[in-house]
A and B are shown apart, each in its own frame.
Chain A
């Protein structure tokens, strides 16, 4: 196996004591874990693996129960993070850690005295399923993207496997692969020497200037990344056997430390990361506005400061948004099926909505490309985005992405132990024993090694993800744009269901036309079911708006009866022209139904699809009555406004 970017990154971390974390991103099964384990085994560096369901107590140092009980004095046991001191801590699927665990790890990582990391953190992220959280990714010092293997690599792996006899253990396999990696065996002394070279290398002011300029131009907030780039550049310079850091080292360092699109190993040495392939910049640019400012990458523009991002960002600079709020983007590896270049993936091209054919014969894609399926009016993207934005803000204002509940049924991931408030269900045994161990003095002796009293009891704090129920109420009447509305809704549902299994969101659809409403899709997480039900929908007839709203009310009430913890979001897609009702005044009926719905106090969005110069629809006043967010289809196309709204929240 050739020396690839990951090997170089690992080596950089190996020699530079200031580099504390490496992230390896790639699709499933491309050998991330494999390479990492091989590298560190070959170097003889201990690797402490932390599974993502490790509880907080095991991460940090904790009481050694046996010793304490036997000797009567406080003895502590090393936690996982302490065991990793001076070595490497390895976490697979690091983005699945809960916030608490992550914070705990990061806090422990940096020593207070020197500000240098006490262990190296190596993590992997799988791109096959999740939305990529760019903010999270950029928390790592070095970032390496891996791609799907080439034909040669596939054949080599197969060949090795075929050669392996039945008894060959996985570790053995790793060893055979390791000998192919051309890294000389390094000793501790060598490492010391390299470390001191890294720390003492000449980093001129002009170089620092370069780094600072790049970061400013790209709107990288905070100075952490600058320090990272400096350190990475030092390591690269040392590996290059130079005494001082050159601009080329900095350019290389940037590719390893900043996660953006357009990380290309271009032969030209300019730091001007032009990526001229993006012809459709204009369209996608606007959609980035909702992003937190520090992660935008914008071109340097005269007369505009870095905060002026609301205006059109066109040009050759790649703009990405990965934590997409309903809009899609794909990270495409630079290889296509035919080219058999070296295995390292050096390019991450961001593809826009239209690209090569979507059949299985198309390019490699790291993420699904939903837009190709449905003819894409931009507004469907926008609707999905609006929905997700609403959900997110609701989340943030409430209990956060993951609701931490003391689950009575014992379901959910065990995070840590907390003192019991009287109940003794779901006892955290070890924590309880720990607490009791410290209070044994004065307690009556018994047959047990330890006497537990009620005040010692700790229970398990569990974390569950509570998804949202999203109910679409769609106007399928004959008024203009019924089909377009349906496309918008279908696309949004596709976007939402895409990661529904992860976020546990559930989607349902009600339509209304002619004289009544109809449940098209009962609440489901299944893309299969959604597809089946949404296939053919009849349109036409008058608009029984009141009926639609009433049906939504009923459905939501039923839902909340069955699942009191549900946090439904109702999305109306209509032109607001109420033309049918059971009374003479359909408009007033609709208002009445709206007031009823408002009493349920559910979160809502109304998307007005009314076109034309004369507007008689009641979508906006209805939104006011219901306390729902109001959008007009046309406005959604102009995502800047959405971004402004989002930023204002």
Chain B
């Protein structure tokens, strides 16, 4: 099987890579929505992520993996269905797990998430909300845990996503093709090298990959040590209210994101700069959008409001 293109070999796209890494460190961040044109390394990055994901916990060997949900997936395949053999051979109803079961404690990757069928989205929403997949079909009544990190990619020119689903995804990132020519050259060079000899290419990046993995594990350990002060909570809720976003999830996501950021960058306390950077990841897709109007968040104003509160 062909080796996956290494995460550390991806040129540029720092914001997208950061968003993915934050999720690797703290799955509670709640996933990423990557929006952009074709050919901007979206799928490459998500699949590459699988290779640097840490083990589920200290005791375990198995690492998180990336489970792909194809855009034409049927309800049955996603939710799970009745086991054919069991019922025909023994007359017994047994649950045949679907993709959601497989995705538990892993990353669920949905390419072209905006083209997903409505009812499949309903299923995802349900599981993403409670972390439990409740199956009530074909005479099967069964629930199983389905806590996963949802990562989706999409091209915004092809359609919208339901706000309810948007709310359940932690971060969102807009990706663009590289503009600088020397970076574009680098992209082509590396891709050609990889395709010519995948093993050798991956080998050459192995050291960087290892370091990346190590950093992620360290950051994970540091998560609990980040202090959560009243000032931090005050700042987070100020941002939410200033930007007029719905519900508690933006706040909760902000908390997890800034903690992961601080852990990744080695701080003991969350800085204001990190707060604003996190907001740029957490908030944009939660803004109530008016059509025919660009949602440009006035980050300057947000920064000012934060200053005033201090």
Contact = CB atoms under 8 A, between A and B. Distances in A.
B136 A69 contact: no
A234 interface: no
B262 to A, nearest CB: 13
B139 A57 contact: yes
Given A149-B247, A525-B159, A158 B236 contact: yes
Contact of A28 (B141, B159, B164, B237): B164
B188 interface: no
Interface stretch (B38-46, B62-70, B114-122, B208-216): B114-122
B292 A373 contact: yes
Interface string B106-126: 000000001001110011011
A428 B75 CA distance: 13
B272 interface: no
Interface string A132-160: 00000000000000001101011101110
Interface stretch (B12-20, B48-56, B189-197, B249-257): B249-257
A161 B91 contact: no
A504 B114 CA distance: 12
Interface stretch (B198-206, B273-281, B282-290): B282-290
Given A525-B160, A526-B160, A452 B137 contact: no
Contact of B89 (A359, A369, A449): A449
B248 A157 contact: yes
B93 interface: yes
B241 interface: yes
A112 interface: no
A82 to B, nearest CB: 12
A440 to B, nearest CB: 10
Given A28-B246, A358-B290, A50 B136 contact: yes
B161 interface: yes
B136 A54 contact: yes
Interface in A434-466: 434, 437, 447-450, 452, 465
B157 A33 contact: no
Interface in A315-362: 337, 358-362
B303 to A, nearest CB: 14
B291 A494 contact: yes
A65 B247 contact: no
Contact of B137 (A28, A55, A158, A364): A55
B88 interface: yes
Given A92-B129, A129-B163, A58 B122 contact: no
Contacts of B75: 53, 413-414
Contacts of B289: 368, 527
Contacts of B140: 58, 430
B293 to A, nearest CB: 5
A101 to B, nearest CB: 11
B104 to A, nearest CB: 14
A535 B90 CA distance: 64
A449 B131 CA distance: 36
B84 interface: yes
A30 B248 contact: yes
Contacts of B84: 429
Interface string A213-233: 000000000000000000000
A175 interface: no
A589 B135 CA distance: 60
A93 B72 CA distance: 24
Contact of A433 (B87, B117, B238): B87
Given A65-B91, A151-B237, A430-B93, A413 B251 contact: no
Contacts of B4: none
B91 A494 contact: no
A270 B180 CA distance: 69
A72 interface: no
B292 A494 contact: yes
Contact of A151 (B74, B156, B241): B241
A377 interface: no
Contact of B291 (A66, A162, A452, A531): A531
A430 B86 CA distance: 11
B137 A53 contact: yes
A362 B244 contact: yes
Given A92-B129, A148-B246, A162 B240 contact: no
A530 interface: yes
A77 interface: yes
Contacts of B136: 50-51, 53-55, 58-59, 80
Interface in A356-393: 358-362, 364-365, 368-370, 372-374
B134 interface: yes
A529 B82 CA distance: 42
A498 B91 contact: no
Contact of B139 (A430, A498, A500): A430
20 contacts: A52-B122, A57-B139, A58-B141, A65-B93, A128-B167, A149-B248, A153-B248, A154-B237, A157-B251, A158-B255, A162-B255, A360-B244, A364-B244, A368-B288, A373-B290, A414-B76, A447-B89, A449-B87, A452-B88, A500-B159
Interface of A: 27-31, 33, 49-55, 57-59, 62, 65-66, 69-70, 77, 80, 92-93, 96, 126, 128-129, 148-149, 151, 153-155, 157-159, 161-162, 166, 170, 337, 358-362, 364-365, 368-370, 372-374, 410-414, 428-431, 433-434, 437, 447-450, 452, 465, 490, 494, 497-498, 500-502, 504, 524-532, 534
Closest 5 pairs (CB-CB, A-B) = A29-B247, A449-B91, A54-B136, A413-B119, A430-B138
